[in-house]
């Protein structure tokens, strides 16, 4: 559950609700509501958590037997990697990384065409 994953991440990083709130620029009561499940972070908050704490949005949203998934608008440079098992992880990348992936992908395509 998203609420549990936010709490688990915060505790793994040894930070308080107040510290997490300061890092992602929300109020401590907002973090408390997310962790209790009474509110759900919007996509911009999920992106901030992902960036500031270096964790994938997919990990945050991951649930056992989930009947839904969270879709985050593509406002950032992102890449989604889908494994053979069908599990997908989305990463937010800087422009240099995006260009490196584009160049590598094009080099593979060019090899296949030869």
What is the per-residue pLDDT across 26-60, written as a single tens digit (0 to 9) for each? Answer: 999 999 999 999 999 988 888 888 888 878 787 78
Residue-by-residue DSSP string for 9-23: HHHHTT--HHHHHHH
Give the list of residues 6+ apart from residue 22 with CB closer than 8 angstroms, or none: none
Domain around 96: 77-114
pLDDT the model gives residue 97: 82
Confidence of residue 87 (pLDDT cuts 50, 70, 90): low
Q: Say how far apart CA 58 and CA 71 lie, in whole Å.
A: 9
Q: Which of 2-11, 19-28, 74-83 is predicted with the least confidence, judged by mean pLDDT?
A: 74-83
- Same domain? For 86 and 44 the reply is no
- Same domain? For 5 and 56 the reply is yes
Highest mean pLDDT among 11-20, 62-71, 74-83: 11-20
- Same domain? For 102 and 57 the reply is no
- Among residues of the chain, what percentage have pLDDT more than 90? 22
Are the CB atoms for 17 and 10 separated by under 8 Å?
A: yes
- Same domain? For 40 and 81 the reply is no
pLDDT the model gives residue 85: 59
93 vs 8, residue with greater confidence = 8
The number of distinct structural domains making up the chain is 2
Q: Say how far apart CA 48 and CA 30 lie, in whole Å.
A: 14
Are the CB atoms for 43 and 73 separated by under 8 Å?
A: yes
Q: Residues 16-23: what's their mean pLDDT?
A: 93
């Amino acid at each position: 559950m998203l609420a549990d994953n936010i709490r688990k991440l915060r505790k793994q990083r040894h930070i308080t609700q107040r510290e997490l709130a300061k890092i992602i620029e929300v109020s401590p009561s907002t973090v408390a509501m997310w962790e209790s499940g009474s509110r759900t972070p919007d996509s911009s908050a999920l992106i901030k958590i992902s960036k500031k704490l270096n964790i994938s949005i997919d990990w945050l949203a991951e649930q056992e037997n989930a009947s839904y998934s969270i879709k985050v608008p593509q406002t950032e440079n992102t890449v989604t990697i889908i494994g053979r098992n069908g599990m997908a992880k989305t990463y937010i990348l800087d422009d240099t990384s995006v260009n490196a992936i584009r160049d590598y992908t094009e080099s593979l395509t060019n090899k296949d065409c030869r």
